[in-house]
Amino acid sequence: MVTIREEKLSDAVTREALLDEAYGSDRFTKTSARLREGRLPAAGLSLVAVHHGRLAGTVRLWHVTAGPGRAALLLGPLAVHPQHRNRGIGATLTRRAIARARLAGHHAILLVGDAAYYGRFGFTAASTGELWMPVVFSASGSFRSSFDQARSPEREGSSPRPVGSSRSPTSTG
């Protein structure tokens, strides 16, 4: 049986191993990882899935800004251990994280990821019209992501909901 709970300090080592396995050793160079640098995960919004005492999945939400003075959360990395994929664990982690963010009063969640996966949770690049990401340097040089010219989430109204999903040129998660 899989249970979802808040991450504990003691989960950090296995969480990092799971992320290495899911995203590879170069994961810290990817767009979302660069965006998380120097930021803190939002309180109560780091979740893990546990199967028979072992970590099977992880997701975290981070404090970011979506334009000057506009608080938002960045979702990721989301990862599920290969042995436990396609059983809805990723979806459950994502939905729980969104629900908790709503309850905590957050108004917007952004992510960089596969629209084909995240669309089912309501994420859409159509909601990011005037948003842009800071320039992030990749091995091939600098680029701006498809958040370019995205819309500010707060203009969508105060109803908390996921607002952005876009796949950047080099990065996921």
Ligand X SMILES: CC(C)(COP(=O)(O)OP(=O)(O)OC[C@H]1O[C@@H](n2cnc3c(N)ncnc32)[C@H](O)[C@@H]1OP(=O)(O)O)[C@@H](O)C(=O)NCCC(=O)NCCS
Stretch that binds ligand X, among 8-16, 86-94, 131-139, 146-154 (CB under 6 A): 86-94
| C-alpha to C-alpha distances, 67 to 82, 86, 117, nearest whole angstrom | 36, 35, 26
Stretch that binds ligand X, among 113-121, 122-130, 136-144, 150-158 (CB under 6 A): 113-121
At residue 19, the 3 state secondary structure works out as: helix
- Among residues 35, 42, 79, 101, which is the contact residue for ligand X, using CB under 6 A? 79
Residue at shortest CB range from ligand X: 90
User: Does 96 contact ligand X by CB under 6 A?
Assistant: no
Q: Which is nearer to ligand X, 70 or 170 (CB)?
A: 170
| C-alpha to C-alpha distances, 118 to 49, 73, 111, nearest whole angstrom | 18, 15, 9
- Among residues 9, 116, 142, 159, which is the contact residue for ligand X, using CB under 6 A? 116
| Number of residues binding to ligand X, judged by CB under 6 A | 18
Listed residue (53, 172, 27) closest to 112, CA to CA: 172
User: Does 91 contact ligand X by CB under 6 A?
Assistant: yes
Alpha carbon distance 65, 134 (integer Å): 11
- Among residues 63, 87, 95, 96, which is the contact residue for ligand X, using CB under 6 A? 87
Stretch that binds ligand X, among 8-16, 63-71, 80-88, 102-110 (CB under 6 A): 80-88
Q: Which is nearer to ligand X, 42 or 80 (CB)?
A: 80
Q: How crowded is residue 11: how many other Cβ atoms within 10 Å of its Cβ?
A: 17
165 phi and psi, to 5 degrees? Answer: -145, 125
Stretch that binds ligand X, among 65-73, 76-84, 144-152, 156-164 (CB under 6 A): 76-84
**Residues 6 or more apart in contact with residue 115 via CB below 8 angstroms:** 123, 124, 125, 165, 166, 167
Alpha carbon distance 137, 132 (integer Å): 15
Q: Which is nearer to ligand X, 76 or 160 (CB)?
A: 76
CB of 23 to ligand X, least distance (A): 6
